[in-house]
């Protein structure tokens, strides 16, 4: 009994390994150079060997006839890796469910035995192609064939008709309905794999069609003159000064960068880090940054769907920190809220307040005060008036920074003072300072 179970377990494990490697090769058909497995597959200097080269040869696919429109027979190219995945899937499901042959009804195991024998012959054929022809050597392909070489004799052994009576606990008859059920399940699994492959190939086709446009966009995002021109073309949506918090310094002659944020927004966390880097590397000399709240939470913002359930309270906590400790406390709480790894709640706000040197109990009380809630509500109404629908949204000099301009090239160009005149130069002056338009 133990030996029988060990034999079946070995077949299932080898089938799983072979199926996994076959699916990895199938994925590599879409992206031969970028697939993970091809990075561990050595290639010759001229590209004549290796997994990437092997997947581009005519032996990597086979043509299978199928019915077409008008009762014509057409052929479909099927990757050999898909056939390998289907082969290992079938054997794994067969033996995982049915086990080794039984004294009665064992003829049904001829299906698995014949399948394994055909798979062994095909493996020998592909290894022969690599050894005797110009077909590239592929380490992963050889690994799949090596797994199959271990699998085939085990399948042969497991499907032999027992010469001694089967153990009492072992089922004695393999019924046709069991064999048919496994074949149906295997067929559905293989059909699912084929469907996923087809969808991935269609997606790759669309991405390839867009690739030239991506290169064009990348070039434009590195062009300071274009970025400044694009920014200058945005309408001025905010012409009035934004009311200051009591602890915020006046902007003076600097333009104002107004950042609408949400403490449960992953993109806000990412963009906030980039913005701080840009300010530290020169932008901070030229602009005054104002952070305002636009929580995507219906508890305080009726203009949005309830996407971030704790965002309103997090905004209250940040403003309560500013109320208690000034602008420096607000900035430290701002950083702490974005960096907090757990769920934002009252315990977290009190803990973070104590971490940055504030009174946690007072912060919780201030969060509930009408003054703090009115500040956040005013930010939300300002965002709605400006047409803001999501976060992060950043305005500079009264203009919304378009997505294409959210690059280091744009901020570097903007942070470069014009050759003459005040630091608070218009985007048009900065465009002129970067050179003529193309």
* Structural domain boundaries in the chain: 2-214, 238-397
Of 67, 85, 84, residue with least CA distance to 75: 67
The tens digit of pLDDT for each residue in 169-186 reads: 455 677 788 888 888 998
Predicted local confidence at residue 249, as pLDDT: 83
Q: In whole angstroms, what is the distance from residue 331 CA to residue 284 CA?
A: 15
The reported pLDDT for the residue numbered 148 is 92
Cβ neighbors of 98 (< 8 A, separation 6 or more) are: 109, 174, 178, 179, 182
Q: Of 262, 327, 317, which Cα lies nearest the Cα of 289?
A: 327
CATH topology of domain 238-397: Glutaredoxin (3.40.30)
Give the per-residue pLDDT at 254.
Answer: 83
DSSP bridge pairs for 76: 64
**Residue given tokens 């929580």 in the structure block:** 295
Low-confidence ranges of the chain (pLDDT < 50): 1-2, 43-49, 166-169, 420-424, 436-438
pLDDT at 292: 94
CA–CA separation, 309 vs 327, rounded Å?
26
CA 117 vs. chain centroid, Å, equals 40
Q: Specify the pLDDT at position 40.
A: 57
Q: Which residues are registered as beta bridge partners of 79? A: 61
List, in sequence order, every residue forming a beta bridge with 63; answer none if it has no partner.
77
The reported pLDDT for the residue numbered 50 is 65
pLDDT at residue 206, as a whole number: 80
- Token pair for 197: 């492959």
Q: For position 300, what pLDDT does the model report?
A: 94
What pLDDT score was predicted for residue 32? 59
- Enumerate helices (H) and strands (E) in the chain, giving the number of each: 14, 6
- The matching CATH number, chosen from 3.40.50.980, 1.20.1440.130, 3.30.1360.70, 1.10.10.10, for 2-214 is 1.20.1440.130
| Pairwise CA distance, residues 271 & 402, whole Å | 14
């Amino acid at each position: 009994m133990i030996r029988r179970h060990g034999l079946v377990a070995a077949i299932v494990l080898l089938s799983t390994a072979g199926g996994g490697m076959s699916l990895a090769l199938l994925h590599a058909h879409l992206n031969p150079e970028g697939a993970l497995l091809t990075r561990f597959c050595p290639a010759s200097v001229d590209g004549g060997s290796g997994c990437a080269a092997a997947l581009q040869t005519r032996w990597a696919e086979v043509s299978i006839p199928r019915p077409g429109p008008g009762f014509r027979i057409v052929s479909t190219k099927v990757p050999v890796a898909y056939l390998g995945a289907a082969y290992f899937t079938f054997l794994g499901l067969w033996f995982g469910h049915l086990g080794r042959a039984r004294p009665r009804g064992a003829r049904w195991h001829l299906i698995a035995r014949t399948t394994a024998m055909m798979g062994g012959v095909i493996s020998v054929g592909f290894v022969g192609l690599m050894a005797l022809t110009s077909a590239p050597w592929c380490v992963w392909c050889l690994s799949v064939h090596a797994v199959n070489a271990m699998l085939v004799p085990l399948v042969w052994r497991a499907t032999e008709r027992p010469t001694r009576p089967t153990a009492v606990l072992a089922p004695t008859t393999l019924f046709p309905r069991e064999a048919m059920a496994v074949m149906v399940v295997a067929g559905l699994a293989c059909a699912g794999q084929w469907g996923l492959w087809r969808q991935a190939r269609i997606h790759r086709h669309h991405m390839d069609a867009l690739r030239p446009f991506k290169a064009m966009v990348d070039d434009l995002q590195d062009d300071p003159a274009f970025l400044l021109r694009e920014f200058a073309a945005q309408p001025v949506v905010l012409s009035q000064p934004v009311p200051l918090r009591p602890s915020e310094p006046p902007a003076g002659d600097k333009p104002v960068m107004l950042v609408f944020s949400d403490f449960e927004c992953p993109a806000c966390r990412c963009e906030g880090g980039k913005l701080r880097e840009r300010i530290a590397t020169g932008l901070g000399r030229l602009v005054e940054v104002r952070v305002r709240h636009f929580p995507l939470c219906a508890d305080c913002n009726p203009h949005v769907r309830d996407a971030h359930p704790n965002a309103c309270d997090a905004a209250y906590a940040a403003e309560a920190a500013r109320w208690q400790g000034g602008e420096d406390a607000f900035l430290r709480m701002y950083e702490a809220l974005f960096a907090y790894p757990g769920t934002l709640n009252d315990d977290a706000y009190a803990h973070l307040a104590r971490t940055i040197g504030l009174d946690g109990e007072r912060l919780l009380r201030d969060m509930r005060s009408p003054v703090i809630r009115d500040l956040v509500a005013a930010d939300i109404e300002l965002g709605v008036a400006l047409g803001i629908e999501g976060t992060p949204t950043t305005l500079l000099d009264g203009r919304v920074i378009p997505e294409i301009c959210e690059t280091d090239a744009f901020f570097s160009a903007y942070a470069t003072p014009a050759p003459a005149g005040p630091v608070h130069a218009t985007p048009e002056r900065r465009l002129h300072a970067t050179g003529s338009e193309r």
